[in-house]
Structures are given as C-alpha cells and as structure tokens.
Structure 1
Amino acid sequence: MSKAPFIAVSVATATLGTALGAMALQLRANGYEQYVESVATFSILMYITAALTVVTWVRDGRSQAN
C-alpha cells in the first residue's frame, strides 16, 4: 500500500488532536469546566489514533519486504 493514505490520515488526526487541545485550554480559560475533560479526552484519543496509523503503516511495509 502506498504511503500517502497513511501519512494523510496520521497528519489529519494529529492536527485535529492539536486543535482540540487548544479548544480545551480555551474552554478552561472561559470557565466552561464541564466540557474540558471531554474535549481533552477526545484530543488524546486523536493523538493515539495518529500513532496507531503510523504503526499500521510500518507494519504494512514490513509485510511486503519479506
């Protein structure tokens, strides 16, 4: 499989994680404490998804090398 889909998905999810992290900080600054935990959790989930996409890409490349 080509690199492009893996890279695009990984970058998009990491960018979303960054945006959600910034949103969580802004929510905390504006006093919306009840939403901060949910948004921060989703942000972390996006970073984990990006990392797992990279792991999948590496493992996919290994299986074709044999």
Structure 2
Amino acid sequence: MSQAPFGALVAALAALATALGFLAIELRADGYEQYVGSVNNASVVLYVAAIMVGVAWARDRRLRSG
C-alpha cells in the first residue's frame, strides 16, 4: 500500500484557510461585518485541521520508520 498524500492535504488545507482569511479581510473592508466571524471561524478550523493532519503525518512516518 502506498503512503497517503499527507503533504498535499496539509498544503491544500492551509491554502484554503489562508484564502478564507483574506476573504474575511475583504469582507470587513467592504462592510459585510456579519459574515466576518463565520469566515474567520472556518479559517481557524481549517488551520487546525491542517495541523492535525501534519501531526498524523509525523506519527505515520515514525511508525513506518521503525
């Protein structure tokens, strides 16, 4: 079985979280304050998911190396 594409998933999640962060900045600048909190929360959730996948990647590599 080949190794799961953890790196690509971490990069994709982090990129999406960054894009949502910039969207929140644009929404605030355009006056859509009611949506900024939700977009910020989604961005933080995606960053946390990227970190968790990164931790899973590190643990998987450690288990396969021994």
Q: TM-score, normalised by structure 2?
A: 0.91
Unaligned runs of 5+ in 2: none
What is the aligned partner in structure 2 of residue 61 from structure 1?
Answer: 61
Amino acid at match of 1:53: V
What is the aligned partner in structure 2 of residue 43 from structure 1?
Answer: 43
What is the aligned partner in structure 2 of residue 18 from structure 1?
Answer: 18
Deviation beyond 3 Å, 4+ runs, structure 1 = none
> For residues 2 and 65 of structure 1, what CA distance do their matches in structure 2 show?
12
What displacement does 1:65 show? 2.4
> For residues 40 and 13 of structure 2, what CA distance do their matches in structure 1 show?
14
Unaligned runs of 5+ in 1: none
Q: TM-score, normalised by structure 1?
A: 0.91
* RMSD across aligned positions (CA): 1.2
